Structure 1
Amino acid sequence: MGDKVGLGWHKGYCNVCDLCIDGDHNLCPEQEGTIIGNHGGFADKVRAKDTSVIKIPEGLDFNAVGPLLCGGITVFNPLMQYDIKPTSRVAAIGIGGLGHLALQFANAWGCEVTAFTSESKMEEAKEMGAHHSLNSRDDSEIEKAAGSFDLIISTVNVDMNWDVVIKTLRPKGKLHFVGLLEAPLEISAAPMIMAQNSLSGSPVGSPATLRKMLDFAARHNIQPVTETYKMSEINEAFERLESGNARYRVVLERD
Structure 2
Amino acid sequence: MIKKTLWTVSIITWVILLFNPGNIMTMEHCHVSSAGPSMQSFEMLLEMNPISNQLLGWTLMVIAMMLPKLISHLELLSFQTFSKYRFINCLSFTLGYLATWSVVGFGMVWIIIGCNLKFPNSFVPAIIVGFLTLIWQFSPWKQIFLNKCHKHTIVSSRFLKGIYEAFKYGSTHGLYCVGAGWGLMLFPMLLPVGHNLAMILVTIIMLTEHMEHPRVPKWEINFRLKFYKFIWYKVRFVK
- TM (norm. structure 1) is 0.22
The structure with more strand, counted as a fraction of residues: 1
Higher RCO by CA contacts (8 Å cutoff, separation 6 or greater): 2
The structure with more helix, counted as a fraction of residues: 2
